[in-house]
């Protein structure tokens, strides 16, 4: 699996087998001047960034700074008050509903709690997008679903219902579903929330594997410092006080060179002193 | 040095003046939350007693065990000191108490964070309710339109849902509802027959109980009772299912996968109820007639044969099919109301409960409105 050549039925019934976001094309994700608001309350304004091919792009910031809301805007679950989101050269914000739906099929999303459909088994969960958007037979769908579950370490759990497995397993099953159609862009909402440090680390490794082997571009919402430095190579930092983004770039560079004390405080878990004392304890 | 002792259920609070300008708050005994709290108003009273103290200090020598009860009291005192700009010396208090006090006062209250209880007048509330009721009808009609479009897409083969989902809903709102529909409509037949019998007996016309029950059940009551049962049973279930799917982001997961939740979740539910309610209505009609027959045979000593023959004469096919048509419309209303309220559900478990309640209320209200409209239209058409 070097690059993704998703064999997905497009809306006109033809088969597309070319990557939606070619490497020599425009950046897969561009966010222009985005303003997010609930009614008249502006949550975040003037958000601008681009995500390049093969990036693991981190959306970080303190609790309540609007990280998940930004993700929901990027996915079209909330309409922006101003500004736009572009995928390649397609203006997603202004796009027609059917075109947007078609675009969404090139994405995979892992939600905070997994968001598995509780009335379906794991195999059915993973198989649903395959059944909807490919011409595979039922037996082939089951085979592919088993493969995806095996990739996330859930081999043999095909017949289980989401309520019968643990939270960490639900998250991994959610990931299996997200990668069902070999998406070119993957979104992760707080992947390590509610996981123990080891599971969280394993999930990070899995994300890196997916990027390297699937050739996907990945967007991760997280405030988990260990994950941020382990996987991120590009990021945006949202600040709740000033209600805008205050930093953009590789998190490791931000740690080394950022002069903004808010970014530094966040990336050093409350300050350099705290970091030093943590090192001494370690 | 004057001392006033206040008897308290747990800790003891007493006051002394070390000199004319300093008030000493003496804390003694065990200060436990569960034994009740002395209010800081006792301190306030002391501060207002002449000679007015200019400073405040504590004496905690006799203080025994303490918990957050003491802290609550001290925070009250601290607030009084702040508003009166009275210097206070906290140093005699135990270190743990001071530490926790500092922690509680470390972050100043955020301006505007406290919600002021908004009091609105009766007229304002009435207006708000009226607007929201009008908006609710608007939303219902808009959603109804979307569902219609989805059905049109289904008809041309563009919309899809899982067959198995449809079958599960059909089972749930068809076969599984038989028991309750049997019980309720049989009893409705019994009640109708009873009420009619009392009046008709006066004229010796008890055989017309059969006409009364047969016509009432087939024209309106069968469809209406089936609809009310299904609104409470299935409409609420639809709202709760979709509402909790919204809370757990399962609906978002469908959307971002490019699968329309409207097609995937709403179409099978509306289809199932649309198909099943007329069948339940047929069954309800039969059970109602059975209830009427039960009363007539056991109490009025009519023979079952003559009861059935009378029913057959009274009930026309037009009435019967009119009832089925109404039932199908009610089914659509209930399913659409249930799904709409589920989709509108907020992001908490209490919101799911509200959605279920709202689904039942909306469903029953619109069913009764529709029933009124049918009564008028059928009358005009002479059906």
Residue scoring higher pLDDT (A23 or B288): B288
Domain boundary among A182, A202, A223: A182
Our CA-based measurement puts residue A114 at a distance from the nearest CA of chain B, in whole angstroms, of 8
Give the pLDDT mean for B210-228.
95
Q: Are residues B345 and B198 in the same domain?
A: yes
Residues B284 and B202 in one domain: yes
| C-alpha separations of A217 from A45, A108, A130, A247, A252 in Å | 25, 10, 21, 20, 19
Angstrom distances, CA of residue A119 to CA of A133, A149, A211, B107, B377: 20, 18, 31, 46, 42
Q: Does A38 touch chain B (CB under 8 A)?
A: no
**Is B50 contained in some domain?**
yes
Residue B16 in domain: yes
CATH code (residue B32): 3.30.750.24
Same domain, B87 and B188: no
First to last CA, chain A: 40
CB contact under 8 A, B160 and A132: yes
Same domain? For B97 and B171 the reply is no
Q: Same structural domain for residues B99 and B240?
A: no
* pLDDT tens, residue by residue, A69-115: 999 999 999 999 999 999 998 999 999 988 898 899 899 999 988 89
Of A105, A115, A129, the CB nearest to B248: A115
Residue B338 clears pLDDT 90, i.e. is over it: yes
The answer on pLDDT for B2 being more than 80 is no
Backbone angles phi, psi at B40, to 5 degrees: -70, -5
Q: What is the pLDDT of residues B259-286, one digit of tens each?
A: 889 999 999 999 999 999 999 999 999 9
* pLDDT reading at A45 higher than 60: yes
| Domain count along chain B | 2
User: Do A70 and A174 belong together in one domain?
Assistant: no
Does A129 lie at the interface with B, CB-CB under 8 angstroms?
Answer: yes
Q: How confident is the model at residue B9 (pLDDT cuts 50, 70, 90)?
A: low
User: Are A257 and A199 found together in one domain?
Assistant: yes
Q: Is residue A17 scored above 60 in pLDDT?
A: no
Q: A72 with A86, same domain?
A: yes
Lowest mean pLDDT among A240-244, B228-232, B309-313: A240-244
- Asked whether residue B176 falls in the same domain as residue B293, the answer is yes
Model confidence pLDDT, tens digit, residues B23-40 = 888 888 888 888 777 778
Structural domain including B21 reads 3-106
In this prediction the pTM is 0.81
Over the stretch B98-125, which tens digit does the pLDDT of each residue have?
888 888 888 877 776 776 666 788 999 9
Q: Please, what's the b/e burial string for A266-279 (b: 16 or more CB within 10 A of its CB; e: otherwise)?
A: bbbeeeeeebeeee
Task: Kindly state whether A190 is in contact with chain B, defined as any CB-CB distance less than 8 angstroms.
Answer: no
Structure tokens at B128: 């708000």
Which neighbouring-strand residues pair with A58? Answer: A220, A235
Check CB contact under 8 Å for B249 and A112: yes
Q: What is the pLDDT of residue A272?
A: 62
Residue pointed to by tokens 């972050």: B107
Percent of chain B with pLDDT over 70: 96
pLDDT beyond 90 at B176: yes
* B252–A115 CB contact, under 8 Å: yes
Say whether pLDDT at A15 is over 80.
no
Confidence check: pLDDT of B167 > 90: yes
Binned at pLDDT 50, 70 and 90, residue A33 comes out as: very high
Q: Which residues in chain B (232-271) have CB-CB distances under 8 A to chain A?
A: 245, 248-250, 252-260
Across the interface, whether the CB atoms of B160 and A77 are under 8 A apart is answered no
Phi/psi at A258 (nearest 5 deg)? -65, 140
Classify the phi-psi angles of A76: left when phi > 0, otherwise alpha if psi is within -120 to 50, otherwise beta: left
Residue numbers of the domain that contains A178: 115-182
Confidence band for A194, pLDDT divided at 50, 70 and 90: confident
């Amino acid at each position: 699996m070097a690059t993704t050549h998703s064999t997905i039925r497009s809306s006109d019934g033809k088969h597309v087998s070319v990557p939606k976001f070619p490497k020599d094309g425009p950046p897969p994700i561009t966010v222009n001047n985005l303003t997010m608001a609930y009614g008249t309350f502006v949550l975040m304004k003037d958000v601008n960034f681009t995500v390049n091919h093969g990036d693991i792009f981190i959306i970080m910031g303190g609790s309540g700074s609007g990280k998940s809301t930004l993700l929901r805007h990027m996915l079209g679950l909330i309409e922006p008050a101003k500004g736009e989101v572009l995928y390649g050269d397609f203006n997603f914000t202004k796009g027609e509903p059917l075109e947007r739906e078609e675009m969404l099929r090139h994405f995979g999303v892992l939600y905070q709690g997994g968001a598995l459909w509780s009335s379906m088994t794991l195999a059915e969960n993973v198989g649903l997008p395959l059944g909807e958007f490919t011409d595979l037979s039922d037996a082939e769908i089951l085979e592919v679903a088993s493969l995806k579950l095996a990739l996330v370490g859930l081999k043999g759990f095909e017949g289980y219902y989401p309520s019968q497995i643990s939270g960490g397993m639900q998250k991994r099953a959610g990931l299996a579903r997200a990668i069902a159609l070999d998406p070119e862009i993957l979104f992760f909402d707080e992947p390590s929330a509610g996981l123990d440090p080891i599971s969280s680390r394993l999930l990070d490794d899995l994300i890196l594997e997916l990027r390297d082997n699937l050739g996907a571009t990945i967007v991760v919402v997280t405030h988990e410092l260990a994950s941020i430095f382990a996987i991120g190579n590009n990021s945006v930092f949202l600040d709740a006080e000033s209600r805008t983004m205050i930093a953009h770039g590789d998190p490791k560079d931000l740690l080394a060179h950022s002069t903004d004390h808010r970014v530094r405080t966040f990336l050093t878990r409350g300050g350099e002193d705290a970091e030093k004392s943590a090192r001494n304890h370690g | 040095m004057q001392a006033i002792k206040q008897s308290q259920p747990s800790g003891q609070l007493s006051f002394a003046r070390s000199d004319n300008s300093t008030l000493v708050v003496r804390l003694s005994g065990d200060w436990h939350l569960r034994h009740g709290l002395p209010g800081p108003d006792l301190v306030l009273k002391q501060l207002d007693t002449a000679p007015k103290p200019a400073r405040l200090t504590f004496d905690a020598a006799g203080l025994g065990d303490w918990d957050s009860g003491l802290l609550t009291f001290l925070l009250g005192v601290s607030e009084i000191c702040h508003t009166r700009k009275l210097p206070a010396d906290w140093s005699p208090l135990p270190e743990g108490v001071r530490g926790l006090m500092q922690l509680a006062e470390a972050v100043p209250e955020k301006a505007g964070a406290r919600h002021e209880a908004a009091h609105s007048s009766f007229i304002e509330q009435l207006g708000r309710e009226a607007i929201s009721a009008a908006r609710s009808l608007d939303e219902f009609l808009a959603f109804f339109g979307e569902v219609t479009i989805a059905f049109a897409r289904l008809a041309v083969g563009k919309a899809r849902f899982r067959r198995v989902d449809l079958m599960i809903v059909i089972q749930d709102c068809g076969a599984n509802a038989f028991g309750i529909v049997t019980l309720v409509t049989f009893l409705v037949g019994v009640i109708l027959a009873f009420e009619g019998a009392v009046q008709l007996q006066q004229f010796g016309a008890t055989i017309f109980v059969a006409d009364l029950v047969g016509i009432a059940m087939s024209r309106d009551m069968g469809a209406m009772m089936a609809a009310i049962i299904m609104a409470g049973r299935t409409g609420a279930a639809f709202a709760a299912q979709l509402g909790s799917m919204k809370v757990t982001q399962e609906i978002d997961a469908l959307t971002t996968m490019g699968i329309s939740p409207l097609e995937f979740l709403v179409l099978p539910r509306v289809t199932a109820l649309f198909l099943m309610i007329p069948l339940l209505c047929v069954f309800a009609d039969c059970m109602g007639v059975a209830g009427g027959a039960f009363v007539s045979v056991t109490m009025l000593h009519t023979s079952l044969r003559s009861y059935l023959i009378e029913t057959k004469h009274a009930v026309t096919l037009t009435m019967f099919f009119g009832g089925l048509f109404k039932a199908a419309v009610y089914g659509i209303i209930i399913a659409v109301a249930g799904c709409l309220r589920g989709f509108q559900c907020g992001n908490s478990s209490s919101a799911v409960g509200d959605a279920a309640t709202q689904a039942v209320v909306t469903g029953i209200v619109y069913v009764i409105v529709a029933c009124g409209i049918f009564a008028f239209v059928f009358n005009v058409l002479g059906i």
